[in-house]
Amino acid sequence: MSAAPWLDETQQRFWRAMLQGQTLLQTVLDRELREVAGIALADYEVLVIVSESPGRCRRMAEIAEDIGVSRSRLSHTVARLEKRGILKRSSTEGDGRGVNCSMTDEGWGLMQKIAPVHVEGVRRHLIDLMSPEETQVLADVFTRAAEHLRKAV
């Protein structure tokens, strides 16, 4: 098997900027959510998935797959949010092994408070820096990359 060709200057600049940009963006968005509501960005991702699900309820296994984390990591996150009264776990009806995760009324109230903060941060720190055409191209590229990587996981 031959060695992969080295990245050219533009590819290397893209790769490093993408890594650094992603890390910095997540750090800033995490800080903003923690300041407003004491919620980490990783917790917020779970809350978004549950809040957008029918009846604000979703199977734990599906949430883990949606956000690309292990079931164990998700279980720890949900346990932390459950202690705060934001989420609640229950057995899946008709499947003793399955576990549902639902959002409490308190959790829904929190989402209504913090979602605008998050969206404003995403816009200010990323979306508003791009043209609509650039946004479309990057959405297409990263959707394709995510689909490819899901198969590898």
Q: Domain locations in the chain?
A: 25-152
Architecture of domain 25-152: Orthogonal Bundle (1.10)
pLDDT for the residue 95: 72
pTM: 0.88
Query: HEC states along 85-134?
Result: CCEEEEEECCEEEEEEEEECHHHHHHHHHHHHHHHHHHHHHCHHHCCHHH
Residue 26 token pair: 């997540």
Question: Across the chain, what does the average pLDDT equal?
Answer: 95
Rounded to whole angstroms, how far apart are CA atoms 121 and 30? 10
Q: Residue 32's CB: how many other CB atoms inside 10 A?
A: 19
Q: How many residues make up the chain in this entry?
A: 153
119-152 tens-digit pLDDT: 999 999 999 999 999 999 999 999 999 999 888 8
